[in-house]
Each structure stands twice: as C-alpha cells, then as structure tokens.
Structure 1
Amino acid sequence: MKKIVVITGASSGIGRQTALDLANQGVQVIGAARTIENDQALSNHQNITTMNLDITSHASIAHFVTAISDQYSHVDGLVNAAGYGAFGALEEVPLAEARNQLDVNLLGIVDLIQVILPLIRKSADGRIINISSLAGQSYSALAGWYYISKHALETMSDVLRLELKQFNIKVVIVEPGITNTNWARITIDKMLSVTPKSSPYRQMAERQAQLITKPTQTTADVSRTIIKAMSAKRPKNRYQVRFMDRIAMKSIHLLSYALQDRLAERMMR
C-alpha cells in the first residue's frame, strides 16, 4: 500500500523538491500551498495531488483536511515546509509583520496539526516532519522574529513528540542552513523595505543581505535529509543537512553565552 504524505509549502523550494522526490519513490503526495494549481510538474505527476491551502486561515485548513479525509482513510506523514523569513531590527519590524511571521512559521502549523492528527493517528507509523532551521538553536542580529519563530517551532515539536509517542507518531525536526531557493531574495526584499537607507541599522542590514545570498546546500540535499527522517525506523529528534552543521549545533551548547554573542557578532562583520 502506498504511503500518503502531506507537504505544505509545496509550490517552491524545499517543499516542492521533497514532493517530487517522494512521488518519484512511489509515495502518494498531497502537495499544498496558497497557489499551486499552475505547477504542471506537480499537477501532472501520477503520484501527486495538488491542493490550495492558506496555512494562516483555519477555514482553509479545515476545508483542506476535509478534502483529504474524503479521499483517504489515513495520512502517514506530514511535512511542514511552508515558511518565510521576516528579517530586520526588532526596533523597526512592524508588529503586524511579526505576528504574520508567527502565524506562518508556528501557529498555522499547530492549527494544521490539530486538525489533521486524527488522520495521522490511523497510520501504523505516523510521521510529522517540521522544517526548522539552524536558526532554531542559535541567534543573529536582524533576524529576530525569524529566529524566535524557529525556536518556538522546535520547542513545540519537542513537546508534541512526547505527547504523540503513545500513538507511535514520531515528530522530527529538520534544520537546513541557507538553501539555494527564492527564500533569500524574498527575505532580503522584506528586510531592506523595513530598513531604509536612513536607518541606523542599514549597514548591518546590507551585510546580512550578503550573508544570506550564500547558500551552503541545495533543495535536493535538504530533501534527502527529510526523506531519511521520514523513512528511518528510529529517527533522530533533529537532523542537520551538512556534517559541519551537525558539529556546529552540538558545539553551540558547550559555549558560554558571551562566546555565542561574539560568534554571532563576528558573522555580521
């Protein structure tokens, strides 16, 4: 019997790559995004069903899960790949943008999980894969709300893993670094729009913009890690994509807070 996996953020980047890779392995993929119907590579694939989903709308989520339950008796996996980065100084980012960052990167994910969990519980081996970031265990200037959202996503995932263990549902966090997608361009545009040239943070913002345009991995690299987490009999709680990132995440917890500050400041020079 085919596994059935739901992927949010499937219209671009990591979500799209993972949808195609899983489908090519014979998995039945339900690819979801706000606008996805015009993607021929997805909609024409025999193992992919595309559906519209606004992760910030409860009505959209309820309609989406109802449509799935009308067609499938269960769901084996959920990959939460929808997300974006709201960069800029905490002094300057409007709170409306901060709220939207949390809605997309955290609260919408929780809303979807709450609604779809009854279907995942019917699976013999349910998986929830939450796409976080190396930002989920670190911090940096001018990326506050993004880092806050990813730290919160990871804490939510840890709690959820404990709660769902009794149902044999495994909750896994995947922490990519900077990936070769449109994410960086969109993030830079948003950051510079809230950091005008007259801003005291403008020089720092321009440096940050340079840093996030230097990808360290491809969407195919991240997809392989997600699929590994999806298929492992005993998956780890967290996966990083590169060996050096695994070392960095293990090492960061051994550093003093002062040294962590110095490393974060050095990145921005």
Structure 2
Amino acid sequence: MTTRVALVTGASSGIGESAVRQLLERGFIVYAAARRADRLAALKPLGARPLPMDVTDEAAMANGIATILNETGRIDALVNNAGYGAYGALEDVPFDEGRKQVEVNLFGPARLMQLVLPSMRAQGSGTIVNITSIGGKIYGPFGSWYHATKFALEGMSDALRVEVAPFGVRVVVVEPGAIRTEWSDIARENLLATSGDTAYGAYARAVKDVLEAADRPDKASHPDVVGRTIADAITSANPRPRYAVGAGASSAIFGRRLLSDRALDRVISQRMGASNAVPDTRR
C-alpha cells in the first residue's frame, strides 16, 4: 500500500503537535507546518518533516504544497489547525488586527484547501479536517472577531463537504472545547492589552478571570483528546461530519440547541461575570 501523507498546520504545540504525533503512530508521512520552524525541532526525531509555513503568506503555502507533492506525489489529509484568538471589545480591536484574524483563521485554511483539492480529486480520495471550536457554535463577549472566523469556517466546511463528496474527498469539522494550549494565554493577553484600560475594562478583566479559571488542569482537557479525534477521523472509513471534543464541548453545543438567543445571552452574561463588571461609559 502507498504510505499516506498528511499536512498539519499550527504543529508547533498543542492540538497540532498532538495530531502530528498521532498520525505518525498510525504510519503516516506527516509534514508538520508552523510559522516558526525552530519550534518543530522536537517532532523531527519522531519522523515528522518540518515545513516552515505562514498561513497568511501565499507563496509559503503554495511552495509548501508543491514541496509535499514533489517529494511524495500525494496528499491524503490536510489538518487546518493554525489559528489564534484576537480578543478584545469590537470597538477597541484595531481593524488591521481584525483583518489578520480573518487571514489566519479563515483565509489561510481556505487557500490551503484550494491548493490540496486538485491532487485529492485526481487520486479520488482525501480528508480535510478543519479545526473550528465550540466558539463556532456559541459565542461570548470580547471574541467577536474570533467567533466570526470560526462560524465562517463551519459554514465553509459544510458547503465544501457536499461539494467535494462526489470526488471521494471528505470534509470533517472538529470543535474543541476547553483545551490546555497556548490559545487561552494568548487570548487573555490580547484581551487585557486591547480592552483592559478602556470603557470595557472592568468587564474585560472579569472575562479574563473566567477564561483563566477554565484553563486550569482540572477543568480543561489535554490536547491529546483532540489529536486522537483528528487521527480517528482521518483513518475512519466513514467519519462523522463533525466532532465536539474536550471539556464542555458537548454540553455547550447542547445548550445552544436548547436555549433561545435571549436565554443563552443571559447564561453567557452570568457566567462571564457581566453583573460584576460596571462599564465606565465616561471613557
């Protein structure tokens, strides 16, 4: 049998690193892509092939896909995992930062899908796994740009799934809940830097505390929970269209289905400490 080939973005830590390890254990040739290639050093002894790639750089993405096809002749799986949270009040987040959030979380994955689909169609098989979030189904204060990209990637994945199914290509969405990764640290830092000293400051600090509490080891899941799910989906003969995994994921999505918008707004506001955060409208 031909050895299967996978590309994983955002592979330098967390979910991406775990997915690389899981796929290597299942016999894949795995290209581990990240903006900072030096952070991929730990994966190289395991057999991963480091690939420098910034998902906002068209040339880097095109060259990366060309490298894989030149070396192996095929791509069997693409895991779009690279992403981050540009947290802050919509009023406060600089518009250039909003654009960057869309570039990284939506346009980057979309371009990589465009680049891998011709070879997947030609071989009559392939699996695209898009890592969205429960934040692609529910929402919270100060995550407007992040949630917009994840909601959009969910919709793009659904449309693509039925679009490419006749060619033997599968599209899977993985929706992590609370996972112990760098994501939460970056989101909290962005939140305080952007809105910690504005009219939204008290509310932003309350939300930062909630996010920090949710990231504790006894609350959040290990990245391997998601890494195994990704590998299971790719190697499954009939993967589900989407997988909600990790702490709080299933219950959050169930709540979204059960509650009206107004009821969900109240629940989210209460849990995020809105009642204890008095906005300073004078600023």
TM-score, shorter chain, exceeding 0.5: yes
Q: Deviations over 1:66-108 (max 9, x none)?
A: 1111112111100001000011111111111110000000011
Alignment of 1:132-147 (within 5 A): 132-147=132-147
Output the CA distance in 2 between the equivalents of 1:196 and 1:138.
23
Q: Call closer, same or farther: CA 1:63–1:242 in 2, change over 3 Å.
A: closer
Change (3 A) 1:121 1:38: same
Q: Which amino acid aligns with 1:13?
A: G
Shift, 1:191, TM fit:
1.4
Tell me the secondary structure at the aligned position of residue 83 of structure 1: coil
Secondary structure of the residue that 2:12 maps to in structure 1?
Answer: coil
Equivalence for 2:210: 211
Partner of 1:178: 178
Offset at 1:124?
Answer: 4.6
Q: Which amino acid aligns with 1:78?
A: L
Give the Cα–Cα distance (whole angstroms) in 2 for the partners of residues 167 and 211 of structure 1.
Answer: 45
What's the % identity of the aligned pairs?
Answer: 36
Question: SS in structure 1 opposite 2:195?
Answer: coil
Distance 1:29 1:144 in 2: 33
Structure 1 counterpart of 2:27: 26
The residue matched to 2:37 in structure 1 has which SS? coil
Q: Matches of 2:159 and 2:114 in 1, distance apart?
A: 14
Q: CA deviation at 1:195?
A: 1.3
> Residues of 2 paired with 1:54 and 1:244: CA distance?
31
Give me the TM-score of the superposition, normalised by structure 2.
0.90
Extract unaligned runs of 5+ from structure 2: 274-283
Residues 152-186 of structure 1: per-residue CA shift (max 9 Å, x gap): 01001001111111111110110001211111111
Long gaps (5+) in structure 1: none
Using the TM superposition, give the Cα deviation of residue 33 of structure 1 relative to its aligned residue in structure 2, in angstroms. Answer: 0.8
Measured after TM superposition, the shift of residue 238 of structure 1 is 1.2
Deviation at 1:40?
A: 2.7
Q: Which residue pairs with 1:104 in the alignment?
A: 104
CA distance in 2: counterparts of 1:191 and 1:17, whole angstroms:
27
When residues 35 and 242 of structure 1 are mapped into structure 2, their CA distance, relative to the original with a 3 A threshold, is: closer
1:38 deviation in Å?
4.9
| SS in structure 1 of the partner of residue 129 of structure 2 | strand
Letter of the structure 2 residue corresponding to residue 212 of structure 1: L
RMSD, aligned α-carbons: 1.5
1:156 is matched with: 156
1:166-245 aligned at under 5 Å gives the runs 166-197=166-197, 199-213=198-212, 214-215=214-215, 216-242=220-246, 245=249
Give, in whole Å, the separation in 1 of the partners of 2:207 and 2:200: 10
Change (3 A) 1:38 1:142: closer
Q: TM-score, normalised by structure 1?
A: 0.94
- Checking the alignment, whether the CA contact within 8 Å between 1:74 and 1:122 is kept in structure 2 is no
Aligned residue type for 1:169:
V
AA of the residue aligned to 1:211 = V
Q: What is residue 262 of structure 1 aligned with on the other side?
A: 266
Shift of 1:242: 4.0
Q: Which amino acid aligns with 1:208?
A: V
Number of matched pairs: 267
Counterpart code for 1:45: L
Deviation of 1:11 (Å): 1.0
Q: 1:69 is matched with which residue?
A: 69
SS in 2 for 1:253: helix
